[in-house]
Amino acid sequence: MYLQKRNRILRTNSSIRSLVAETVLTPNDFILPVFVDEGENVKHEIPSMPGYYRYSLDLLVKEVKEVWAMGIKSVLIFVKAKDEVKDNTGKEAWNPDGLMQRSIKAIKNAIPEMLVMTDVALDPYSVYGHDGIVKDGEIVNDETVDALVKMSLSHAEAGADFVAPSDMMDGRIGAIRKALEATHFTKVGIMAYSAKYASCFYGPFRDALDSAPGFGDKKTYQMNYANRREAINEALQDVEQGADIVMVKPAMAYLDIIREVKNSVTVPVSAYHVSGEYAMIKAAAKMGWLDENKAIIESLTSIKRAGADLIATYFAKQAAEMVNRQ
């Protein structure tokens, strides 16, 4: 058979395959989300996220040192607030001695070069488990933005490198940028959760932080997964308002959105490979239905190939280990 072009030539063996690979994972691609709890010597496994833990600060610092040594350059902090500090104002979110503020300081003290990113949203502090302030059964936008600004400034004050608003209120990126400028926190970056969808894949995360909404759902602020154009609008607006990085979340069911956003902006794009996506791989692997390591690398490579410059993933450590061995 005569063929002018044989595509299999570039797939002949692993040497040529790696020479022509378009997408290569490195630990620099990963942001490690971390869950922090009060107390000492706490390492609590999250039942719906096997192999993933909520740590008290002493143990968290050890863990973060370990991942730094593996080449991971950034962590994204989430805290589990105690029930007694929860209310409908979110004021614990800007308590200078709050768990978040202490976590930022502890990590920056231990490893100053580690990029510390912080979740900005009221849900861990809300009696209603919502990302904003609730009035008459509604999540009110503008008052929430005022609270998010205070929260962001408090994280900046504690030493955060990036604030990452995950709340999906309108106008929060511009308001936070303006406030950071006014207070001379001119080195603090904003990673905006720009296209964050109302997704069932956040379930295990809400178990981890005990932050499930007490009433209703998050559909009046998080995006409808039926929509694509809206994601571009959100991302463009956030860039205009001063976002340094824009994010798409979740990742695997949203690869088209990652690519659309990537083609629409000139800032780095991140993707959040969320808790439910972690849980699915873990569960299938536990049943013996999937090869866990292969599923992890294939998923993360696909997310990067779709256009993510950065990937927040609970597999960061496991993936870095594999990538470093290659």
Residue of the chain from 152, 275, 301, 313 that contacts ligand PBG (CB under 6 A): 275
121 part of the interface to ligand PBG, by CB under 6 A? yes
Contact track, ligand PBG, 228-267, x by CB under 6 A: ----------------------------------------
> DSSP alpha helices (H): ranges in 20-91?
57-69
Q: How far is the CB of 131 from ligand PBG (least distance, A)?
A: 5
Closest CA to 205 of 275, 131, 283, 273: 275
The span from the CA of 226 to the CA of 247, in Å, is 18
Q: Which of 249, 262, 304, 317 is catalytic?
A: 249
Tokens describing residue 56? 């008290």
Whether a cis peptide bond, with omega within 30° of 0, leads into 204 is no
The span from the CA of 288 to the CA of 28, in Å, is 30
The span from the CA of 311 to the CA of 249, in Å, is 10
The torsion defined by the Cα of 263, 266, 267 and 271, in degrees rounded to 10, comes to 10
Tokens describing residue 81? 């607030």
Name the DSSP letter for residue 126: B
Nearer Cβ to ligand PBG (27/129) = 129
Q: How far is the CB of 206 from ligand PBG (least distance, A)?
A: 6
Residue of the chain from 205, 221, 254, 315 that contacts ligand PBG (CB under 6 A): 205
Which residue is at the shortest CB distance from ligand PBG? 205
For the question of residue 196 being annotated catalytic, the response is: yes
106 part of the interface to ligand PBG, by CB under 6 A? no
Closest CA to 169 of 215, 222, 217, 210: 222
Contact track, ligand PBG, 126-145, x by CB under 6 A: -----x--------------
125 part of the interface to ligand PBG, by CB under 6 A? no
Residue 309: how many CB atoms within 10 A of its CB? 14
Nearer Cβ to ligand PBG (130/262) = 130
For the question of residue 135 being annotated catalytic, the response is: no
Applying CB under 6 A, the span of 7-15, 176-184, 198-206, 225-233 interacting with ligand PBG comes to 198-206
Phi, psi at 85, each rounded to 5°: -95, 0
Q: How far is the CB of 275 from ligand PBG (least distance, A)?
A: 3
Rg (CA), the chain: 20
Q: Which of 80, 105, 135, 196 is catalytic?
A: 196
Site residues, ligand PBG (CB under 6 A)? 119, 121, 123, 131, 166-167, 202, 205-206, 218, 274-275
- Catalytic (active-site) positions: 196, 249
